[in-house]
Amino acid sequence: MIQPKGTIRARIIALPDADQSPEQLAGIAPGIPAQAQFARRLAAAGCQVVVPALISRSDEFSGDARVRFTNQTHREWIYRQAFQMGRHIIGYEVQKVLAVVDWFAAENDKQPIAAPIGVAGYHEGGLIAFYSAALDSRIQTTLVSGYFSERNRVWEEPIYRNVFGLLEQFGDAEIASLISPRGFVIEHSKIPNLNGPPTPRKGRSGGAAPGILATPNTPKVLSEYKRTTKLVFNKSRITLVPEAGPNALNTFGSDQALEALLRLANVTPKPNWKTAKPPANALQSKLSPQRQRRQVSELVEYNQRLLRFSEYKRSDSFWKKLPPAKASQWHAQCEPHRKQLWTEVIGQFPAANLPIKPRSRKILETDKWIGYELVLDVWDDVFAWGYLLVPKGIKKGERRPVVVCQHGLEGLPIDAVTRDTNERAFRYYKGFAAELADRGFVTFAPHNPYRGRDAFRVLQRKANPLGRSLFSVIVAQHNRIIDWLETQPFVDKTRIGFYGLSYGGKTAMRVPALVPRYCLSICAADFNEWIKKNVTVDARYSYLFTGEYEMFEFNLGHTFNYAEMAALIAPRPFMVERGHKDGVAPDEWVAYEFAKVRRLYANLGIPERTEIEYFNGPHSINGKATYDFLHRHLKWPKR
């Protein structure tokens, strides 16, 4: 806090960039040119100024000594945990600002004349200032520097700026309209280029999400400013600095921007405030890193507390609202929750809008079945494809059960089919689509678009700001696959089951929960205490420590763990296949979560419709109890 001498003319929260310190912005530590030290300069103008510390882009404390440390920035490290729990690093830092606003307002209540409250921020601090002002009308004047622009390529920015559903309603112009008619100053200033997360170094794992930052493009800033002026009634309360010119300002906190901020707050600054110099007794020693460590640690602990208590939240919002009645009524009982999962968590795209237009070619043949590659249209430029295995000897008019056999991460349909023991895929899949076709089932091995490392993860990044996810696409593709299967004369449309391994097991939890035409589901090598796996900092199994930054689904932690997803599959048969040596999670997590599923099926009076098979093996298809399960529930005899 910087306290001015004399009357307080305004109360301002000044937000540095994430890689700047409050001391630098106040002019008592080196690192920011004197002309850009807008916290100090506003104090010289007669403002009481509070400068919060933001979570930095360093990776120093991103990890846990019990597991390992990573090259994620502190902001990404907090983001990953928070996003799954319905929170956000942006939201946490906005709360810091609004806590100061609370204090400012309380101080104003003690005075005969209230001092106007404002907020000013640069770069990442500009983002926080922008959102804070939009959310709290007590903030009367706002300066955003080095941030305002078009936001349609937010997926290219660091992942800690990923706000689920943002672009459904809000570009920067729409957020600015929430500030109007209060004063708003946009300063188009340069920011340092950021080409990605810190480079992994000794003692740290990689896997941080890619993301770049660069000075907002001038035409895009002008375009968004023009859109803003069309959304507000009082254009005079919005100022762009500089008003014209092809380039951004070389620095931030310019005289013109600060003058506009004070003018819009109706503040007459002290004379000669522009020429005030930094104090001579600046800090000589380096700032201690312990403040940043404490800032990171307290948010980690807050997220972990949310994790610990999330089970009670899910119990209140899901299980207590759904006391099991009859099995025949359960599907209808669950419909509001199914809608919530689809629209609020996964995200729902419209159904396929093109004719199916199937294209196929024969690619494989054995003495027991013929294999075809099949392509089906979904939307413009989006299709579903996979391998269809049709047993030989199907009689005219006979309709067979179908098993959709889903590959895992970085997989292809052939992985579920190949029986070449020299192929790496065989270790995991054991040719289960081919084995089931040998047994007389029609099988289809679809391609799911989780392949290509960052290439597919960028699809998730593009979908999230639209309130969608990768599974929004996958659900539509699977619905289209079933559309086609149901038209085939050799398919019994009432007996189409799903069996997926690993990422295919993730699919087995989500897609059948949302697609009732799948008559059963088998989750292999994935079922576990999913929320814990995504949020805990205490276990090596956690996705917090890996490169799978697309795993996090907004607010899933307070809505649907795997037991709740399985409940949306019920009363249809549901099975878990689990190897003791599978590194996805420990047996204890799996058993704990499955116990809830088993209890539900027992309460519904259908305990025979769910089971779990443990086998003494790794992350793979075992193909014993699961095959029996398919024969029994798809009513197809063993041969």
- Encode pLDDT of 300-319 as tens digits: 999 999 999 999 999 999 99
- Encode pLDDT of 176-223 as tens digits: 999 999 999 999 999 999 999 999 999 899 999 999 999 999 999 999
Q: What is the mean pLDDT of residues 270-286?
A: 84
CB-based contact 283:23 (threshold 8 Å): yes
| Greater pLDDT, 323 or 630 | 630
Among candidate residues 211, 167, 76, 85, the one with its CA nearest the CA of residue 467? 167
For tokens 């899933």, what's the residue? 556
pLDDT recorded at residue 285 = 65
* DSSP β-ladder status, 442-446 and 382-391: antiparallel
The alpha carbon dihedral of 232, 235, 239, 242 has a sign of: positive
- Encode pLDDT of 550-600 as tens digits: 999 999 999 999 999 999 999 999 999 999 999 999 999 999 999 999 999
Q: What are residue 295's phi and psi, to 5 degrees?
A: -60, -45
- Encode pLDDT of 117-138 as tens digits: 999 999 999 999 999 999 999 9
The 8 Å CB, 24+ separation contacts for 562-565 are 562/509, 562/523, 562/527, 562/528, 562/529, 562/530, 562/593, 563/593, 563/594, 563/596, 563/597, 563/600, 564/314, 564/318, 564/319, 564/337, 565/341, 565/509, 565/510, 565/513
For tokens 């007590």, what's the residue? 138
User: Is pLDDT above 80 for 234?
Assistant: yes
Which amino acid is located at 80 in the chain? R
Q: CA-to-CA distance for 629 and 291, rounded, in angstroms?
A: 56
pLDDT recorded at residue 325 = 77
Name all domains of the chain by residue range, CATH numbers in brackets.
10-302 (3.40.50), 322-633 (3.40.50.1820)
pLDDT recorded at residue 349 = 97
pLDDT recorded at residue 284 = 62
Say what the pTM is: 0.96
The percentage of the chain sitting over the pLDDT mark of 70, rounded to a whole number, equals 100
Q: Backbone dihedral region of 392: left (phi > 0), alpha (psi from -120 to 50 degrees) or beta? A: beta
3-state secondary structure of 68: strand
pLDDT, mean over the chain: 96
For tokens 């700032």, what's the residue? 287
User: What residues are paired with 446 via a beta bridge?
Assistant: 386
- Encode pLDDT of 457-508 as tens digits: 999 999 999 999 999 999 999 999 999 999 999 999 999 999 999 999 999 9
Q: What is the mean pLDDT of residues 160-177?
A: 97
pLDDT recorded at residue 590 = 98
User: Is 32 exposed, middle or buried, given 0-12, 13-18 or 19+ CB atoms closer than 10 A?
Assistant: buried
Most trustworthy range by pLDDT among 230-244, 269-283, 333-347: 333-347
CB-based contact 531:84 (threshold 8 Å): yes
pLDDT recorded at residue 288 = 82
User: What residues are paired with 141 via a beta bridge?
Assistant: 118, 183
Residues in the chain: 639
Q: What is the mean pLDDT of residues 399-424?
A: 98
DSSP 24-47: HHTTSSSSS-GGG-HHHHHHHTTE
Q: CA-to-CA distance for 625 and 612, rounded, in angstroms?
A: 9
Instruction: Categorize the per-residue pLDDT at 275 as very low, low, confident or very high, splitting at 50, 70 and 90.
Output: very high
User: Is pLDDT above 90 for 386?
Assistant: yes
Instruction: Categorize the per-residue pLDDT at 406 as very low, low, confident or very high, splitting at 50, 70 and 90.
Output: very high
User: Is pLDDT above 80 for 411?
Assistant: yes
- Encode pLDDT of 74-107 as tens digits: 999 999 999 999 999 999 999 999 999 999 999 9
Which amino acid is located at 226 in the chain? K
Q: CA-to-CA distance for 103 and 71, rounded, in angstroms?
A: 36
User: Is pLDDT above 80 for 372?
Assistant: yes
The percentage of the chain sitting over the pLDDT mark of 90, rounded to a whole number, equals 96
Q: What is the mean pLDDT of residues 253-267?
A: 97
Lookup: tokens for 564 = 């709740």
User: Is pLDDT above 90 for 281?
Assistant: no
